[in-house]
Amino acid sequence: MVYVSPVIGRWYRKQRICGIPLIVVEELSNRQKNNCLSGYHGYDKLLDAVNHLLEFEKRGIPTIKPLPSEFLSHFAGKRDQLEELCVKKKKKEQIHIPRQIDLDRIPYIPLPPSPATWEEWKDGTDELKSEKDIFQIVDSSGWKLTESRKLEKEEKPGTFFKEIRITSEGSLFIDSKGKNEKYSGCKSSLMKRNREGNVVKEVGLDHDIYRIATSPLNDYYAFMSSGGALYAYNGKLERIFEHQLSQDPRIVAHYESTIPTWGTIKSHIRTIDVSTEGKDYLFTISDTAWCINRNHESNWGISMPLNEGWERVVSRITTDVPREEIVNAFSELDLRMPATQEAIKRKYRELAFKWHPDRNKDINAKERMQKINNAFSALTGVDPNSLEIREKTVFDYRKRPDYTFDIVDIGGTTLGVTIATTMFGFPNDWIYASGFADDQVHVYLGSYAGKIVKVDPKGIPLLVYDVSNTPRWIIDTSDYLYIQTDTRLYIIRNSEELVDIKDIKRKEKLIVGDEGFGLVGNKFLKWFNEDGQTIGTITTKDPIRAVYLSRKKVTVETRQHRAVLKIFA
């Protein structure tokens, strides 16, 4: 095939003449004229092609530039140069086409829906805090307060550090606006403290910080500036990577497509990430995520399914079922956490066959079946009012039934739910959260609609969770997967075993350590072991500024004071 490398500002198109694929190029420079017919591997084949085109030129039919006659004249008596041109190979330009997720081809795991908000907590009443003591232990079943003291002046971090993140080696303090007077002229600054809360290093940066990516699983950090530049730093606060996303060919291709966007690049890129040692980097654009290496080459790209026209979308209900009712729902199905989706489906099938009024004439059958449906709804988010059982199948009657959610296959009898497409106002389901797993090669992507997709190192989707609300944190420690929305925390083991859930009602933030996790509120910290069993709760009189996690110890700081808690559970 005749090959011409694309040149910015040049218009080109593919064309086929006499069965010969060509690229027609306008306004070529002299250097490009010599390259426009490169790609034919063989002197004779190239001359045959040019002579074919020469016949068209003689008849006044447009062919290529340079004209075949000009090309032959230029290389007359220069067979060596022409042969060299024929065998010269161009570096293949990488094509950036993301993989489209097909929800019909991967396991779908619907979890108890996360409410959009808790109505009773909208006004912020019933704040959990210490009314009298600087630090107060509310529940000391698994830990005890071993130290409580006032901070020395040099121990107090500046108030300009508005964001503090837990990493594998300590805590990172982030001044995203450049308010640190110690680094005059810098647009932002960082301070790293170790697990004991001692300062390790502090630096000023020459860029502002708009997006932040840190992880409790490694000690590498990624930041995006408001102008769309991606930066990465190691645990020594040394810059190891820089990339102008606004000029990235994957981003450019997005803007040249028909995908609707609005605002500026900083609002289109909702999440970024970096793996251990800065080996791989992740960024999103609208509903698409790209994973690239340190040479800016694509490892993979993947796009969330469109909201409109999905082949498989569960019709999820909007619910604010609290944790207690979900526990009761498990009990209604004769189950308890931890439980897998397969166990929930199996029990629902068993009880539905037993209690459906069409099969059971007991006067209490209708009421019991309603309770079973409600329990199934609470645990999966499927609307029980849309279910109807007729003989061997459960149907969800909608205009566009797209997916049958199989519940049973026993003795040739199938019980399933056909679930229809949900229509949203915008076609694209934007990616709002991401996270490298503990192995640093698998990646989780969380969408605005509440879909969390696990992706393998080749960019192949493995499974999808549905929580019906935008995820804020996705952390896979290899033993447990933690997914937090604004209203709920999910604890998952072995990919699909729901171990526990925690309702988030006071804007708590998830932090994860080596031996457990915490939920940090404005003036309280709740600590749990890995599977969600409560270790203890501490409340404070003043807002919590920082938390440091070390082995069997949690350190909590306010602006003026520090408390150390020893975990013995």
Q: Is residue 370 helix, strand or coil?
A: helix
The reported pLDDT for the residue numbered 83 is 59
Q: Where are the domains of the chain?
A: 12-87, 323-420
Q: What residue type is 393 in one-letter code?
A: T
d(CA 139, CA 126) in angstroms, rounded, equals: 18
d(CA 567, CA 569) in angstroms, rounded, equals: 6
Annotate 55-119 with DSSP letters as a single string. Answer: HHHHTT----SS-HHHHHHHTTT-HHHHHHHHH--PPPPPP--PEEP-GGGS-EEE-SPPPS--G
Phi, psi (5° rounding) for residue 247? -105, 0
Q: What residue type is 364 in one-letter code?
A: N
Q: Is residue 522 helix, strand or coil?
A: coil
The reported pLDDT for the residue numbered 38 is 39
Q: pTM value?
A: 0.73
**CATH tag, 323-420:** 1.10.287.110
Cα torsion 450, 451, 456, 458: sign: negative
Residue with tokens 């006044």: 60
Q: Which of 430, 420, 422, 426 is nearest to 396 (CA)?
A: 420
Q: Which of 528, 557, 510 is nearest to 193 (CA)?
A: 557
Q: Which of 155, 189, 192 is nearest to 175 (CA)?
A: 189
Cβ-based neighbours of 469, under 8 Å, separated by 6 or more: 113, 114, 115, 116, 450, 485, 486, 487, 488
CA distances from 261 to 247, 248, 256, 383, 459 (A): 17, 17, 11, 33, 24
Our CA dihedral for 294, 208, 177, 513, rounded to 10 degrees, sits at -10
d(CA 332, CA 376) in angstroms, rounded, equals: 9
The reported pLDDT for the residue numbered 159 is 95
- DSSP class of residue 314? -
- Chain centre distance of CA 298: 17
Cβ-based neighbours of 59, under 8 Å, separated by 6 or more: none
d(CA 416, CA 368) in angstroms, rounded, equals: 20
Tell me if 431 sits within 8 A of 445, measured CB to CB.
yes
CA distances from 96 to 4, 261, 308, 367, 427 (A): 19, 19, 24, 55, 21
Beta-carbon-side half-sphere exposure of residue 33 (alpha carbons within 13 Å): 15
Residue 136 tokens, joined: 């107060």
Residue 388 tokens, joined: 């109807």
Cβ-based neighbours of 448, under 8 Å, separated by 6 or more: 429, 430, 431, 432, 470
pLDDT tens for the 569 residues of the chain, in order: 333 333 222 233 333 333 333 433 333 333 333 334 433 445 566 666 677 667 767 777 665 666 777 777 776 766 666 556 555 444 445 557 899 888 888 999 999 999 989 876 555 556 788 888 999 998 767 999 999 999 999 999 999 999 999 999 999 999 999 999 999 999 999 999 999 999 999 999 999 999 999 999 999 999 999 999 999 999 999 999 999 999 999 998 888 765 666 778 999 999 999 998 899 999 999 999 999 999 999 999 999 876 644 443 445 566 678 899 999 999 999 999 999 888 888 888 889 889 988 888 899 999 999 899 889 888 888 665 554 443 333 333 222 334 444 444 444 444 444 444 444 445 678 999 999 999 999 999 999 999 999 999 999 999 999 999 999 999 999 999 999 999 999 999 999 899 999 999 989 999 999 999 999 999 999 999 999 999 999 999 999 999 999 999 999 999 999 999 999 87
The reported pLDDT for the residue numbered 299 is 95
**551-559 long-range Cβ contacts below 8 angstroms, 24+ apart:** 551/514, 551/515, 552/515, 554/143, 554/513, 554/518, 554/525, 554/527, 555/196, 555/197, 556/135, 556/525, 557/151, 557/197, 558/134, 559/156, 559/159
d(CA 274, CA 232) in angstroms, rounded, equals: 7
The reported pLDDT for the residue numbered 75 is 66
d(CA 60, CA 310) in angstroms, rounded, equals: 51
